[in-house]
């Protein structure tokens, strides 16, 4: 089975092309549908619920392609590493992987970076963001879109990535390997594009969540605690829905089996996922090289928008994972460390653009290290180690 799947990703045939085209088609359809939704206070409850049902139907269909793309990405990275390992010396492997692990086309954040490199005027930058990427800070948590003030703060704190001064490594590839490299970089593009579609779709769906909140006296983000089929209950059993939201906001676990779906919620479920996997007094973690280089600094764990806003320049940014909302904080860091991710994750790609030491996929850096810990990030070896107080 694994052999068949590996060939499916490695083969630059029409099969994978159809899969990627389907993701883009469904992504565009999801965005197009959400853009067509224009709820007002005069919209009937029934029509508002139809908007919700229609959106989640099409978004669920898109998610099939979205989650499948995680497999394409993971397998293509493994296959590309295997290919490169035969072509270059071991000491050049990471450098070459970084050089060629670039998307075939630009998505939101790289486009913004290139525009900001050419255009320095604040007003033009703001207009560019408002016109092209008003959805940059949106997502499926139903939080409000970025305001002009937030966009302004994003622009002011944006640091352009450093240019790569090193000479590119040349690879000798046959025709089949060149086709695979092309497909590999297309997969990296799709990896970023899939989240752009998701953010844009939820940006245009937000007015629906907002109207639901206004009408039934909820916060828009409370909608995220409900299954689509439960939302119409607001019209005739609001108390039951509020109880569901209150319980699930404390924590929830969903178990899927072949024949049913079971949901547990409330304080009691925390035992299922609040588990500290770190060993006592653990001081060193091994991860995947995101970007070579080394740096020392104080740990600052970033989980929330407030953490991102209050990130101090020169600290080591430690997070479970990152996304475009983290970029302005990442640009202030001396190094990046994540629990999740691999060579082509968001943190690794941004780190390489900024030439910043980065270690990803450590599994538990956010639990092993605490705010203020003094650490060394060895990006070249994929190691993060805690240093003794006073070490410099």
**pLDDT (0 to 100) of residue 324:** 80
Contact 202, 139 (CB under 8 A): yes
Going by DSSP bridges, is the β-strand pair 358-360/374-378 parallel, antiparallel, or unpaired?
unpaired
Span 246-261, average pLDDT: 88
pLDDT for the residue 6:
42
Report the pLDDT value the prediction gives residue 75, as an integer from 0 to 100: 83
What was the pLDDT predicted at 391? 56
Reading the block at residue 308, the tokens are 């991102």
Between residues 98 and 103, which one has the greater pLDDT? 103
**Mind listing the pLDDT tens digit for each residue in 2-59?**
434 343 444 445 677 888 999 999 999 999 999 999 999 999 999 999 999 999 999 9
Segment 159-197, tens digit of pLDDT: 776 666 566 778 888 888 888 888 889 988 998 899 999
Neighbours of 217 (CB within 10 A): 10
pLDDT (average), residues 120-148: 93
How do 358-360 and 335-338 pair as beta strands?
A: parallel
pLDDT for 163: 62
Nearest partner of 146 among 134, 131, 160, 157, judged by Cα: 134
Q: In this prediction, what percent of the chain has a pLDDT beyond 90?
A: 53
Mean pLDDT of 326-334: 91
Kindly state the average pLDDT of the residues 261-275: 79
Each residue's pLDDT tens digit, 45-76: 999 999 999 999 999 999 999 988 888 888 88
Between 5-9, 140-144, 318-322, the lowest mean confidence (pLDDT) is in: 5-9
pLDDT at 309: 87
Region 70-97: what's the mean pLDDT? 81
Predicted local distance difference test score (pLDDT) of residue 1? 39
Strands 358-360 and 288-291: what pairing?
A: antiparallel
Q: What is the pTM of this model?
A: 0.81
More confident: 83 or 203: 203
Average pLDDT score over the chain: 87
Q: Which of 106-110, 140-144, 280-284 has the highest mean pLDDT?
A: 106-110
312-321, Cβ contacts within 8 angstroms, sequence gap of 24 or more: 316/375, 316/377, 318/365, 318/366, 318/369, 319/347, 319/366, 320/366, 321/345, 321/346, 321/347
Rg (CA), the chain: 23
Tell me the CA distances in angstroms from 145 to 63, 141, 310, 344, one per residue in order: 22, 11, 20, 27
Are 261 and 180 in contact by the 8 Å Cβ rule? The answer is no
Mean pLDDT of 252-275: 81
> 301: pLDDT confidence band, cut at 50, 70 and 90?
very high
Mean pLDDT of 370-374: 95
Instruction: Tell me how crowded residue 204 is: count the other CB atoms within 10 A of its CB.
Output: 22
d(CA 105, CA 190) in angstroms, rounded, equals 9
CA distance linking residue 191 with residue 260, whole number of Å: 31
- CA–chain centroid gap for 358, Å, is 16
Higher pLDDT residue, 362 or 277?
362
Residues 299 and 304: their CA atoms lie apart, in Å, by 15
Question: In 3-state terms, what secondary structure has residue 101?
Answer: coil
Say if CB 367 and CB 277 are below 8 A apart: yes
For the chain, the domains span 1-236, 284-386
DSSP symbols for 344-376: TSHHHHHHHHHT--EEE--S-HHHHS-TT-EEE
Where does the pLDDT of residue 99 fall: very low under 50, low under 70, confident under 90, or very high at 90 and above?
confident
Identify the helix (H) or strand (E) that includes residue 14.
helix 14-35
pLDDT in tens, 103-122: 899 999 889 989 999 999 99
> What CATH number labels 284-386?
3.50.30.10
For 18-27, 84-93, 230-239, which range has the lowest pLDDT when averaged over its residues? 84-93
**Residue labelled with tokens 């994929």:** 382
- Report the range out of 33-42, 216-225, 257-266, 275-284 with the highest average pLDDT: 33-42
**Which H or E run contains 378?**
strand 374-378
pLDDT, greater one: 245 or 158? 245
């Amino acid at each position: 089975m694994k052999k068949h799947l590996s060939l499916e990703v490695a083969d630059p045939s029409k099969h994978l092309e159809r899969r990627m085209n389907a993701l883009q088609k469904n992504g565009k359809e999801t965005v197009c549908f959400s853009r067509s939704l224009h709820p007002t206070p005069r919209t009937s409850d029934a029509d508002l619920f139809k908007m919700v049902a229609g959106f989640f139907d099409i978004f669920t269909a898109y998610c099939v392609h979205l989650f499948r793309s995680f497999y394409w990405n993971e397998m293509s990275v493994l296959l590309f590493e295997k290919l490169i390992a035969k072509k270059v010396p071991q000491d050049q492997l990471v450098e070459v992987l970084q050089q060629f692990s670039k998307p075939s086309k630009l998505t939101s954040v790289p486009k913004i970076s290139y525009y900001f490199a050419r255009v320095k005027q604040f007003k033009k930058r703001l207009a560019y963001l408002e016109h092209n990427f008003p959805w940059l800070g949106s997502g499926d948590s139903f939080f409000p879109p970025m305001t002009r003030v937030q966009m302004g703060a994003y622009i002011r704190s944006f640091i352009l990535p450093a240019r790569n001064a090193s000479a590119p490594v040349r690879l000798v590839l046959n025709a089949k390997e060149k086709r695979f490299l092309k497909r590999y970089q297309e997969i990296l593009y799709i990896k970023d594009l899939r989240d752009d579609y998701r953010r844009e779709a939820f940006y245009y769906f937000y007015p629906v969540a907002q109207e639901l909140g206004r009408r039934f006296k909820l916060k828009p983000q409370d909608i995220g605690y409900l299954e689509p089929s439960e939302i119409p209950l607001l019209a005739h059993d609001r108390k039951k829905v509020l109880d569901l939201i209150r319980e699930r906001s404390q924590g929830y676990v969903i178990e899927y089996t072949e024949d049913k779906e079971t949901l547990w919620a409330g304080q009691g479920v925390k035992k299922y996922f609040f588990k500290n996997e770190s060993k006592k007094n653990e001081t060193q973690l091994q991860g995947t090289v995101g970007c070579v280089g080394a740096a020392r600094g104080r740990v600052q764990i970033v989980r929330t928008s407030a953490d991102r806003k209050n990130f101090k320049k020169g600290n080591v940014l430690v997070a479970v994972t990152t996304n475009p909302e983290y970029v302005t904080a990442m640009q202030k860091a001396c190094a990046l460390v994540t629990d999740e991710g691999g060579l082509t994750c968001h943190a690794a790609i941004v780190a390489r653009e900024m030439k910043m030491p980065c270690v990803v996929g450590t599994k538990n850096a956010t639990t092993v290290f605490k705010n203020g810990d003094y650490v060394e990030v060895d990006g070249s070896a994929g190691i993060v180690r805690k240093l003794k107080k006073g070490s410099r």
